[in-house]
Structure 1
Amino acid sequence: MALRKGRTKSTLESSIDAALLAVEIYNKPRTPFRVEGFITQMIMAWTRLFHAHFNNTIGNRYYYKNENGRFRTIDGERKSWELKTCISKYGILDNGVKSNLSFFIKLRNKIEHRHIDRDEIGIMIFGECQSLLYNYENTLIELFGEDYALNESLSFSIQFSRIRKKTQIEASKKLLSKEIKELKSFIDNYRTSLSDEVFNKQEYSIKLIQVPKIANTSRSDLAIEFVNWNSLSEEDRESYERVTTIIKDKVLKKEAINPGKRKPSDVLKKVNSEIEFNITHYDHTCLYSCLKIRAAKGNDIDDPFDTNTNYCHYDEVHNDYVYQDAWAELIIKGIKDGSLTKPDWKAKFKNKEVINIKEIEGN
């Protein structure tokens, strides 16, 4: 669609400029407040995109009016629909797109009066940020055609390859301000509120796996390949899911955001209902310490996020640990087949020895 000069075209061009500026801000590692800058510019880009569409389809009826029929004004300027109202009036967005936009509208309102000059929030919401941009371009093309696609203008952000040491990560976490912790709590709660169907949509949050290409490929091939998840066969999906087991540092730690299913008392209740004697909280401490599923109690050196996520997760919001059903089941299995005995785990805990969890699992 080739637009003539006028309000629709100028508003659309302003929207595209805001989106490109958002990407520029996000991809400059030394830019201060880049997360806030990206979100603010993308909210502006989306709002102006809808305004361009409404101006092109319904004229100037996307401005608020008073009861007397006159336009509502702020500082002499007509007040137009904000993004939330635009989404409602447009009415045909995918649920994943709407959830993504709702997330950023709420997050923008929370960071508007805060100064977040750190990367922790940006790392947490990378997937949502990427989807916010992809959804914008897809909607831009749907509304105004391929002529306005941004893909020729955008580039991929280069990532540093060296992973931070555990001590650096831990020091960074201890410096988190109260305000950032509150934002992280909001992000956790928002994600938890979504259904699995919406949360797993690429339109809500892009899930990326970065794996170096080492096979013999054509020298003219692109260095990066994107795979459409929806077009994969079940067999191919299973193959890609197995690849995620390689990614330990970020993916598994992000899962620690979500609460597990059992508190320690629930684990004891489950185990004691299945065995012929009772175990105590002290026994539980011995077991999780010797089987190395989490940091030992009182150990301030180990990273609390470094857990065996098959059995245990660290809940940062509440600063405690929660356990999977599989953990209670493993203890029950070990006690019933004799590979776990109370005298043995107490002695090993006292001597700070390790019990090989693979042997318990394999028996």
Structure 2
Amino acid sequence: MSLRKGKTKITLESSIEAALLAVEIYNKPRTPFRVEGFITHMIIAWTRLFHAHFNHTIGEKYYYKKSNGRYEIVDGEKKSWELKTCVSKYVGLSDGVKSNINFFIKLRNKIEHRYIDREEVGIMIFGECQALLYNYENTLIELFGEDYALNESLSFSIQFSRIRKKSQLEASKKLLSKEIKELKQFIDTYRTGLSDDVFNTQDYSIKLIQLPKISNTNRNDLAVEFVNWNSLSSDDKENYEKVTAIIKDKVVKKEAINPGRLKPGDVVNQVNERTGSNLNHFDHKCLYYILMIRPLRSDVDEDPFNTNTKYCHYDEVHDDYVYQDEWVNLLVHIIENGLLNKEIWKKNWDNKTPLNITNLEQQNGEG
């Protein structure tokens, strides 16, 4: 389709410019507000794309009107449909595309008044970001033709091979900022609320596995290719599933959070009830430290996920630790059989001397 000068063409060109700017911001290293900038400009790009389509097909009916038939005016301008309304009015989108756009509408509303320029968020939502861009270009071509395709204007972002150093991995796990934790909780909740069919579609989130092309490569081939899943043969799809069976990124739905897990107070109370001892929270702290089932909070260099998962788990959402019944059973065995006492564990605590938990487990009939 070749558009003549007019409002539709101006709005469409503005949409494309917003999308290109979004990509430029996202791919530029060390850009401030990188994630926020990409999301904001892609929301603008999608909104103006729909406005161009509606202006071309239904005229100015995409503006809000009052009950008296007059247009609603905001800051001297007619109020047009926001993106959420555009998505509901346009009937050509798949459930995956709708879910992807709605995800970013809600996320944009959450980040509008907060600073989230942290790599952790960009890493978490990379698949959704990539899908948002691919879906935009596919819809752009569908509405206005191949002449407006963006792939000739874009280049692949060069990646460093050692993408995530230890410090980055630890930062990604800790997500120390309260606001980052709130955003992560929103992202996890939104994904979990999707059906498997929608979550697994490439329309909602692009899942990529980066593998080097090393054998039988034609010297005229592109160094990087994006393969459309729908164009693959059944044999190729089967081979892909074998690869993803090895490297799998999946959301697991559970009926409850931390079922059967115990808080520190629960551990202390149960041990005291079963042994008649007077274990307190400091005693418990000494024991979990010298038996190395979890790190201390004061040790900022330690990975909080570095726990003995037989006895203890780190709860990332609440930034605390929960314990298994096996931990209570082991402490009861230790105290009832006199394997350790307060004098011993306090001395080891003071000297920062860990004990071999395996020996205690063997005496408890384990291992």
TM-score interval for Structure 1 and Structure 2 normalised by the shorter chain: 0.7 to 0.9
TM-score, length of structure 1 as denominator length: 0.73
Match of 2:14 in 1: 14
Between the aligned partners of 2:313 and 2:57, the Cα distance in structure 1 is 51
Between the aligned partners of 2:70 and 2:106, the Cα distance in structure 1 is 30
1:265 counterpart SS class? coil
- 1:159 matched to 2:154? The reply is no
Between the aligned partners of 2:305 and 2:162, the Cα distance in structure 1 is 19
Gapped runs of 5+ residues in structure 1? 267-288, 290-294, 323-341, 355-363
2:260 counterpart SS class? helix
- Going from structure 1 to structure 2, the CA distance change for 1:206 and 1:305 (only over 3 Å counts) comes to farther
* Offset at residue 321 of structure 1 (A): 8.3
1:296-307 matches, within 5 Å, as 296-298=293-295, 303-304=303-304
AA aligned to 1:7 is K
* Offset at residue 245 of structure 1 (A): 6.3
- Going from structure 1 to structure 2, the CA distance change for 1:313 and 1:42 (only over 3 Å counts) comes to farther
1:30-49 matches, within 5 Å, as 30-49=30-49
Between the aligned partners of 2:208 and 2:306, the Cα distance in structure 1 is 22
* Offset at residue 166 of structure 1 (A): 2.2
1:209 counterpart SS class? coil
1:105 counterpart SS class? helix
AA aligned to 1:125 is I
- Going from structure 1 to structure 2, the CA distance change for 1:77 and 1:19 (only over 3 Å counts) comes to same
Provide, for residues 197-228 of structure 1, a one-character-per-residue CA deviation record: whole Å limited to 9, x for no partner.
00001000000000112213121111112233
Match of 1:226 in 2: 226
- 1:136 matched to 2:141? The reply is no
* Offset at residue 231 of structure 1 (A): 3.9
- Going from structure 1 to structure 2, the CA distance change for 1:308 and 1:90 (only over 3 Å counts) comes to farther
AA aligned to 1:220 is N
Between the aligned partners of 1:2 and 1:231, the Cα distance in structure 2 is 28
CA contact (8 A) 2:33 2:116 kept: yes
* Offset at residue 155 of structure 1 (A): 0.9
Match of 2:351 in 1: none
* Offset at residue 296 of structure 1 (A): 3.4
AA aligned to 1:110 is K
CA contact (8 A) 1:14 1:45 kept: yes
Between the aligned partners of 1:198 and 1:320, the Cα distance in structure 2 is 32
CA RMSD of aligned residues (A): 3.8
- Going from structure 1 to structure 2, the CA distance change for 1:85 and 1:40 (only over 3 Å counts) comes to same
* Offset at residue 238 of structure 1 (A): 4.1
Structure 1 residue corresponding to 2:260, chosen from 257, 265, 286: 265
Structure 1 residue corresponding to 2:356, chosen from 314, 326, 351: 351
2:37 counterpart SS class? helix
* Offset at residue 175 of structure 1 (A): 6.0
Between the aligned partners of 1:127 and 1:308, the Cα distance in structure 2 is 32
Match of 1:50 in 2: 50
TM-score, length of structure 2 as denominator length: 0.72
AA aligned to 2:67 is E
Between the aligned partners of 2:256 and 2:133, the Cα distance in structure 1 is 34
- Indicate the percent of aligned positions where both proteins have the same amino acid: 75
Provide, for residues 135-168 of structure 1, a one-character-per-residue CA deviation record: whole Å limited to 9, x for no partner.
0011011111111111100111111112433244
Provide, for residues 243-276 of structure 1, a one-character-per-residue CA deviation record: whole Å limited to 9, x for no partner.
34665xxx66x86x8659785738xxxxxxxxxx
Report how many aligned residue pairs link the two structures: 308
Between the aligned partners of 2:293 and 2:53, the Cα distance in structure 1 is 58
* Offset at residue 195 of structure 1 (A): 0.2
AA aligned to 2:35 is V
1:160-175 matches, within 5 Å, as 160-171=160-171, 173-174=173-174
1:208 counterpart SS class? coil
AA aligned to 1:78 is K
- Going from structure 1 to structure 2, the CA distance change for 1:170 and 1:259 (only over 3 Å counts) comes to farther
1:40 counterpart SS class? helix
- Going from structure 1 to structure 2, the CA distance change for 1:23 and 1:163 (only over 3 Å counts) comes to closer
Between the aligned partners of 1:321 and 1:233, the Cα distance in structure 2 is 47
- Going from structure 1 to structure 2, the CA distance change for 1:353 and 1:30 (only over 3 Å counts) comes to same
Gapped runs of 5+ residues in structure 2? 262-287, 323-332, 334-338, 340-353, 360-367
Between the aligned partners of 1:321 and 1:132, the Cα distance in structure 2 is 36
